[in-house]
Structure 1
Amino acid sequence: MTVTLDTKGIEEVINKLNTKFNERRVSQFVNSALNTAGRYAAVEIKNAVAGYRDTGATINEVVAGKARLRGGVRNIRIGWSGDGSKQRWRLVHLNEFGYTRNGHTYTPRGSGKIRAAYDNMQPKIKELEANELRKLLK
């Protein structure tokens, strides 16, 4: 399970940076801002999944990738490593959305927590990225 964060509204800051620096340098700055936002998002996701903590494996396997250019858009992936001994990425969707077994529908106590955390962190992530980029314009 991977969460993709969309940030809009910082285009004007990036345009100002493009006038001040070359394209390669601006890409480095944007990647740095995305990495900062990704670390914040990973912490928020860890806090969200703490609600159905048992052994702590789900929390320990949350990772934030590095900023990359994919399909012409710079983005960062937040998800579960999957290479740990517990491989909790296989169970996260069951905890998030619930499941049906033997005709009965189950909704775990952490159902919907990741989506709620995602919705709550969107404004803060935009603010973090914009602040990181604005530092360069001073």
Structure 2
Amino acid sequence: MSVKVNGDKEILAYIEKKYGTAGRKKMESAAITKGGNVLKNNMYDAFYPYRDTGYTVTDMNLYGPNKKTGSNRAKLNWQGPHQRYKLMHLNEYGHFIRNGEFLSPRQTGLIENTTRASRDSYRKVIKEELEKRV
């Protein structure tokens, strides 16, 4: 049996027709988890040169996928025992120091740039995972 499916929406429509809504959600969640792991690994590689204690990498968590926002998404954050989420915002956008000067750390914009660079590989992994299950 061979099926020709071109886009993501066509793949999801075919899966839903063949396996039902519950099967589609299960396959979609598995694909999003694999794609999230690709992004998480790219973040590990991006933060490697800036490590000091390594807490930034160890506190990185991938949650999800969940449907709270209306679409099925995974969430990458820095909630952990070392409370790196407080520092990540300052490192991503920069901050003012006590004498009033603006400090831009070396890793300013690293999360945004890594996310943007990983976008194509994330979508590729999701599409491959869904096609593999068809």
TM-score (norm 2): 0.89
Gap runs ≥5 in structure 2: 1-6
Q: Which runs of 4+ in 1 moved over 3 A?
A: none
Q: Is the 8 A contact 2:15 2:23 kept in 1?
A: no
Higher relative contact order (CA 8 A, sep 6+): 1
- CA–CA distance in structure 1, aligned partners of residues 15 and 85 of structure 2: 38
The higher radius of gyration belongs to: 2
Matched, 1:88 2:84: yes
Cα RMSD between the aligned structures?
A: 1.2
Name 1:3's counterpart in structure 2: none
Name 2:53's counterpart in structure 1: 55
Name 2:69's counterpart in structure 1: 71
TM-score (norm 1): 0.86
Name 1:105's counterpart in structure 2: 102
CA drift of 1:44 comes to 1.2
CA drift of 1:12 comes to 1.7
Gap runs ≥5 in structure 1: 1-8
Higher percent of residues as strand: 1
Name 2:131's counterpart in structure 1: 134
Identity value in percent: 25
Residues 81-118 of structure 1: CA distance to partner in whole angstroms, max 9, x if unpaired? 23x1x211110111111111221011111111111100
Count of aligned residue pairs for this structure pair:
127
Residues 39-88 of structure 1: CA distance to partner in whole angstroms, max 9, x if unpaired? 11111112222232110000111010121112321111011123x1x211
- CA–CA distance in structure 2, aligned partners of residues 122 and 35 of structure 1: 14
